[in-house]
Amino acid sequence: MAAHRCSYLAWLVFIFSLSGILVADGQETTLSGDHLVSAVENPQTDAETEKRAAEEPAVEERRWEATRAADAAEENQEFPASVATVLSSTPQLKDDFQEELVIRPLHSGDIYASFHFRTLWETDFMKGNKVSHYRLFPKSLGQVISKFSVRELHISFTQGYWRTMQWGQPYLPSPPGAELWVWFQDTVTDVDATWKELTNVLSGIFCASLNFIDSTNTVQPSASFKPLGIANVTDHRFLRYATLPREIVCTENLTPWKKLLPCGSKAGLAVLLKSEKLFHSSFHSQAVHIRPMCQDSQCKTPSWELRQTLNVVFDLHTSGQGKQEWSLFKMFSRTLTEACPLASSSKIYIDITDNPQEEQFELIPATPLLRQAVVLGDRRTFSVYDLTQQVTFGTVRSLNLLIRWKSTEGHMLRPLLHAERYVAGYGLQTGEIHTLMYNNHPFRSFSVLLLDSVPWYLRLYIHTLTVTSKGKDNKPSYIHYQPSKDRIRPHLLEMLVQLPPHSVTEVTVQFERALLKWTEYTPDPNHGFYVGSSVISALVPSTVAMDTNNTQERTLFSSFFPCKEESSYFVRVYTEPLLVNLPTPDFSMPYNVICLTCTVVAVGYGSLYNLLTRSFQVEEPNPGLAKRIANIIRKMRGVPPL
């Protein structure tokens, strides 16, 4: 009986699922049409923010992609005015939340997942406005902004080093450890005190050791860090930049970060953020960026953007099973069942640029929605999954994306710009910092801004600074150097260097290792002392503009001039931090050392000094009283004494 019922049930399920699939197919085709419309409006909200203002999205049916993708992108670019009109016509929401997950399968077989959450709020923290009603925007951050008159705040926590040679450029670069840079409003009078207070407050909010940021690791870069939002102030007196290369990022930093999201980790993409999987990875980086944005093209009213990003790279080899496939469940040990109800848009993008015919990997379930975007100077194609549409989740009511590799070749990439840094030499007296910057562009040179902030205990010999490319001296066109002051401020070196095409530029500077006071050593002095990453900021010629040969896909009339789209794009590259050993006393036996030193000084040195400086003579024994009196009498009488 039970068996009979079971089979009956199974039949029912089968029939329903079959019809479900049929219906879903129908919906998909219709929806994709809808989506085309929505995609026209969507890009504007994304346009300046999502992919560094260099984005031209176009969503089409898959079968259109080969022929018309380029043209669509072109059309979009031709009508920037329409962007504004569409935007102003959208219903005015006071605040808005969007979430996105971008997955990029990497050549090495690893996988890169990048979460982006954006809260846009039409309000004004500036000019002393009292803001007290919060909806989506986290109150804790809002209060920080208004109390400390922050114009822009960028903070990132990173565990691991981004391997540019294997993974290409990240969507949002960040140095290992913690990085914080803040632009204050020009109404702030005592920037240093505000900065100090701000770092302590942030330290509490993010459960991080940001309170270790003080004047010895804070710099004011003159050119490398410009405001990213609307700003008329570029006086770098209001900028503070600090890194903590030693900061270790773990779940206690993730939890407060997740709490800033409107849905917390209850719904939407954030349910994937489980720490046991996020920290079982090759790279983990989480960041918060706050900046003022324009509300419309006239820019009459500002709105504030809070962008939370989390980047993680999963490693193929350490994942265990040896099978070359990735799924949401395997990556995050969760699947998706719904979008965040508060989100106006909730999407997953999979980078399928290198996989047009599915020869590298297979994507299950397949999606007809495609989107093109120019990311980091390269035109990429993405498969799109819209979580706000129920059809995305299919009949099982959950989405578990599966990427199955067919071939992997782990060859090294040649990113146009990458950099490395190391300490040369041996011994504990001196050393040399080498910074290598590679320009792999075959025919174009470009200039980069190099920012180096070196702690005071490495005393840079700035006269030994050399910049060489291709064996020749390369004179920087701009140098900003601020020497360090012992125990007060670090060295700051900023240079604008022109990198010749296809070359390595080497910047070397020698340093001397300082001997610290004994209380200044860290609890583990033999581990070494960290020097934060150098920052290389550059406008790199776009690869899209570079491939002049690849014209067959484009129309003849549009493909003559090579600079078709964005001719160059902004890249920031961080080098690895350095671990430098300083001369370290043996702390394990302070008692012995103190005893020995005291004994040597007291006994050895004292008496030796006595022996060397004094002359010794045999003293006459002290005469008795009677003899002395007798002598006085004899003296009075003029007779020689006894």
Among 398, 581, 630, 631, binds another protein (CB under 8 A): 581
Residue 425 binds to another protein (criterion: CB under 8 A): yes
Count CB neighbours of 621 within 10 A: 6
Cβ proximity to another protein: between 321 and 519 the closer is 321
Among 318, 477, 558, 597, binds another protein (CB under 8 A): 318
Residue 589 binds to another protein (criterion: CB under 8 A): no
Count CB neighbours of 424 within 10 A: 10
Length of the chain: 642
Among 337, 420, 447, 468, binds another protein (CB under 8 A): 420
The residue type at 577? P
Count CB neighbours of 86 within 10 A: 16
Contacts of 169 (CB under 8 A, 6+ apart): 376, 415, 571
Query: What are the structure tokens assigned to 159, written together?
Result: 């565990």
Question: What is the contact mask toward another protein in residues 265 to 304, using x (rule: CB under 8 A)?
Answer: --------------xxxxxx--------------------
- Nearest approach in angstroms of CB 536 to another protein is 16
Residue 161 binds to another protein (criterion: CB under 8 A): yes
Among 579, 595, 598, 632, binds another protein (CB under 8 A): 579
Cβ proximity to another protein: between 54 and 509 the closer is 509
Among 67, 129, 187, 607, binds another protein (CB under 8 A): 607
- Nearest approach in angstroms of CB 524 to another protein is 5
- Nearest approach in angstroms of CB 642 to another protein is 25
Q: What is the C-alpha separation between 107 and 412, in angstroms, rounded?
A: 9
Among 20, 160, 227, 368, binds another protein (CB under 8 A): 160
Mapped onto helix, strand or coil, the DSSP state of residue 316 is coil
What is the gyration radius of the CA atoms in the chain, in angstroms? 34
Cβ proximity to another protein: between 141 and 316 the closer is 316
Residue 471 binds to another protein (criterion: CB under 8 A): no
Cβ proximity to another protein: between 181 and 283 the closer is 283
Residue 596 binds to another protein (criterion: CB under 8 A): no
Q: What is the C-alpha separation between 331 and 281, in angstroms, rounded?
A: 9
Cβ proximity to another protein: between 6 and 579 the closer is 579
Cβ proximity to another protein: between 556 and 618 the closer is 618
Cβ proximity to another protein: between 354 and 432 the closer is 432
The residue type at 226? K
Distances (CA, A) of 611 to 401, 604, 614, 618: 87, 11, 6, 15
Distances (CA, A) of 132 to 57, 162, 255, 301, 354: 37, 39, 25, 18, 48
Cβ proximity to another protein: between 42 and 243 the closer is 243
Cβ proximity to another protein: between 81 and 618 the closer is 618
Q: For residue 508, list its beta bridge partners.
A: 434, 466
- Nearest approach in angstroms of CB 508 to another protein is 9
Task: Give the side-chain half-sphere CA count within 13 A for 88.
Answer: 11
Query: What are the structure tokens assigned to 532, written together?
Result: 């934060």
Residue 588 binds to another protein (criterion: CB under 8 A): yes
Count CB neighbours of 246 within 10 A: 18
- Nearest approach in angstroms of CB 315 to another protein is 6
Q: What is the C-alpha separation between 421 and 261, in angstroms, rounded?
A: 36
Number of residues that bind another protein (CB under 8 A): 56
Contacts of 485 (CB under 8 A, 6+ apart): 456
Cβ proximity to another protein: between 137 and 438 the closer is 438
Tell which residue, 65, 72, 66, 60, has the closest CA to residue 369. Answer: 60
Residues in contact with another protein by CB under 8 A are 108, 159-161, 163, 165-166, 176-177, 245, 279-284, 315-318, 320, 410, 412, 420, 422-428, 432, 434, 524-528, 530, 576-581, 584, 588, 603, 606-608, 610-611, 616-618
